[in-house]
Each structure stands twice: as C-alpha cells, then as structure tokens.
Amino acid sequence: MNDQDVEQVFGSEDKQVPKQSIQSVFVDLLRHPIDTLILRWNWKAAVLSALLRAPIFFFTYIFKKDGLKLAVGAAVAQSIFRLVFGGVNGAIIQSFSKVEPAWHAILTVPLVLATISHLIEFVVQTAYDNQTGVDGKNKALIVSIVVSAISAVFNLFAMRRGALLVKDESQQSIWRDLRRMPWLAFEFISFPLVWTWRKSKKKV
C-alpha cells in the first residue's frame, strides 16, 4: 500500500481545512496543553469510548467469584476513566486529523495514544484489582489495547470526514455523527477489500 492509496482512504473531505505537519501538531500540543487537551476535550469520543470499553471489563470480571459485583465495579471504574481520558484522546486525534500526509498521523496516533492511555489504564485496573483482591486486568487490557489501535485509526478516519469533531466550524451534533457511523464503518472495513481488488485488476 503506497502513499496514494493511504491518501485515497484517509484523505480529508474538507479541502478548506488548513493542513499541518506532524511536527507542528506535537509542538502545539506541548506548548498549549490546556487549550489543545482540556478546552478541546472531545466529549463525543469520551462517551463512545466509555460505551465501548465498559463491556470489555464487565465480561472479563463477570466470571470471577462474586462476579456480578466485581464486573459492575470494573465497568464503572473503566467508564469513569474513559469519560475523562477518552475525551483527551479524542482531542489528540482531532489535532492529528489535520496532518498531511495522512500516513504520518496513521502511524503516530495509535502509538501515542496506546502508550499514554494504557499506562494509565494499567494503573487504574491494578488499583482496582488490589482493592478487590482479584486479578482480572490482564485479559481485559489485551483486548482493550487491540480495540484502542483499531478505534484510534477509525476515529482519525471519521474525523477527517467531518464526524466526531467538537468545537469545529460545522458544529455537527452527535446524533448526526451516529447516523453516519454505519456508512463510515462500511467504508473503513471495505477499503482493504477494494484496494486488493483494484491491485489484482491492474495485474490482469
């Protein structure tokens, strides 16, 4: 897959949005953390992140002794963490959604977010396990890391198409974003198949 293929699927639909280099985004995040991470906290990403992660930890802990109580507690702890940090993740992804060429952001976003968020997530779940006297975090964290990598790239894909953004020019509601999700998910999932088909067709 070359740069042109990546740009085809991750290219921004809004050609009027000013593009940035990967270096300028990093500099902006480091120089203005309050503005970029807190004031631009992405509540849409926070809500979706909590809804996505809570079930992972719920079903991991449900099979332990006193499973229901532990599962609900783990889901609540993870929801609180994701509501707070998921919004920060969303703000970071939104900053990187303006990066050109697109593949710079695709390689950087999952690595940055996985490193930061899962270190904190590990601390949160370790504290929960120590408090409850069980050890259920390992399997849940593995699943969560895989989900993080996929969801980070998908969020980047969606944001470059104007969805899941906050404090942007369009001020699009989350309900409109959710209505677009099935088609965006279809585009995201089908791209490898379409790319493979086009490549095989060229060889014929």
AA identity, residue 1: M
Tokens of 185: 């998910």
pLDDT, position 16: 52
Residue 192 has pLDDT above 90, yes or no: no
Q: CA-CA distance, 34 to 20, in Å (whole number)?
A: 20
Q: What's the predicted TM-score (pTM) here?
A: 0.75
Tokens of 92: 């970071």
pLDDT, position 6: 55
pLDDT, position 47: 93
DSSP character at residue 168: S
Which of 85, 91, 110 is CA-nearest to residue 164?
91
pLDDT, position 79: 93
67 sits in the region (left: phi over 0; alpha: psi -120 to 50; else beta) called alpha
* Letter string b/e over residues 127-148, b meaning 16 or more CB atoms within 10 A of that residue's CB: ebbeebebebbeebbeebeeeb
Which of 127, 125, 136 is CA-nearest to residue 63?
136
pLDDT tens sequence across 1-44 = 545 555 555 555 555 555 788 889 889 989 999 998 888 899 99
pLDDT, position 31: 93
Which of 78, 60, 79, 77 is CA-nearest to residue 68?
60
Residue for token digits 């004031």? Answer: 39
* Cross-strand bridge partners of residue 99: 20
R_g of the chain computed on alpha carbons = 18
Which of 184, 7, 169, 188 is CA-nearest to residue 100?
7
- The rounded mean pLDDT for the chain is 83
* Cross-strand bridge partners of residue 20: 99
pLDDT, position 144: 86
Tokens of 142: 């593995």
Least confident span in 6-10, 26-30, 54-58, 98-102: 6-10
